[in-house]
Amino acid sequence: MATEIPVPPPLLRAAPARPATTVRPSRTFKRLQAELRGLVGKAIDDYAMISDGDRVMVCLSGGKDSYTLLDLLLSLQRSAPVSFELLAVNLDQKQPGFPAAVLPDYLTALGVPWHVIEQNTYAVVRRVIAHGKTMCGLCSRLRRGALYRYAAEHGITKIALGHHRDDILETLFLNLFYGGKLKAMPPKLLSDDGRHIVIRPLCYVPERAIERYARARRFPLIPCALCGSQPNLQREVVGRMLAAWEREHPGRIESIFSALQDVSPSQLADATLFDFGGLEARRGAARAPAGNGPETQE
């Protein structure tokens, strides 16, 4: 049975968040927190991620990314010019040894409304995927389905995921190298069935900054037994490639991400995205003499 903090309907109001650690924040941490708040706030503004009255479901896995996402959204919620609700939702996939009490204890102490969905997707993945094969694709689909169902049943207007800038770039190259497609993870997405808006408020945040933030906040991290058992995943390989590029050419990752925000369809080769067949007509229009139009004979 799922466990949940009772909250007065229809609003889910989070109590003032208490810090994850009693250690007095250093100036370095305060600067880092301000930097991350600024990046998340800018992403929310740039892509109109959160509106007044939204009910935002923060998908909390127990990893550094989702902890950081929740922490920053709680911070922004207290000073945002719009009013929105936050609900932390975790999917307990019944992995052997999963510490089921960690997230409920943490969220209860934090005073955040939360809910745990219990679904044995672990058994499904283990049964369907052959030993040694990549499990993340099926695991992701099952997890997404469970979260979408919960969102639909509970009036959630936005689903917030913890994907950061590096995740987005890794997806870009995975699609490029292995899928033959030029696409990544968008900061804001409408689900295929048109029912859900998915947002990624960490889309501007580099992973290394999240790692520093999570260490400073001392989040009770929970490793993923499924993903952690596959060190040679294609995503891991691409991640190492990007890290090597950044070491050799600092700023390259930022440059690649900037390219995702400055696309020139006419300089690519997708005939469904740009009207190459209409170039002749445009050339003719450009050659037409300036004036009020062609002269007519009386």
pLDDT (tens digit per residue) in 77-104: 999 999 999 999 998 877 787 888 999 9
Kindly report the average pLDDT of the chain as a whole number. Answer: 85
- % of the chain residues with pLDDT over 90: 66
Q: Where are the beta strands (DSSP E) in 48-121?
A: 55-59, 85-92, 114-118
Where residue 62 falls among pLDDT bands split at 50, 70, 90?
A: very high
Q: Where are the beta strands (DSSP E) in 28-135?
A: 55-59, 85-92, 114-118
Element holding 122 (H helix, E strand) = helix 121-128
CB 157 within 8 A of CB 50: no
**Regarding predicted confidence, which is higher, 9 or 51?**
51
Domain ranges of the chain: 27-277
CA 82, CA 80: separation in Å to the nearest integer? Answer: 5
Fold exhibited by the domain 27-277: Rossmann fold (3.40.50)
When mean pLDDT is compared across 82-91, 129-138, 168-177, the lowest value belongs to 129-138
Q: Whose CA is closest to 201, among 25, 19, 59, 21?
A: 59
- What residues contact residue 29 under an 8 Å CB cut-off, 6+ apart? 216
Mean pLDDT of 170-174: 95
Which pLDDT does position 95 carry in this prediction? 78
Residue 87, exposed/middle/buried by CB under 10 A (0-12, 13-18, 19+)? Answer: buried
Q: Where are the beta strands (DSSP E) in 35-187?
A: 55-59, 85-92, 114-118, 158-160
What pTM does this model have? 0.83
Where residue 226 falls among pLDDT bands split at 50, 70, 90?
A: low
When mean pLDDT is compared across 86-100, 150-164, 250-264, the lowest value belongs to 86-100
Which pLDDT does position 118 carry in this prediction? 86
Which pLDDT does position 55 carry in this prediction? 97
CB 165 within 8 A of CB 255: no
Mean pLDDT of 118-141: 70
**Model confidence over 175-220: pLDDT tens digits?**
999 999 999 999 999 999 999 999 999 999 999 999 999 999 999 9
Where residue 16 falls among pLDDT bands split at 50, 70, 90?
A: very low
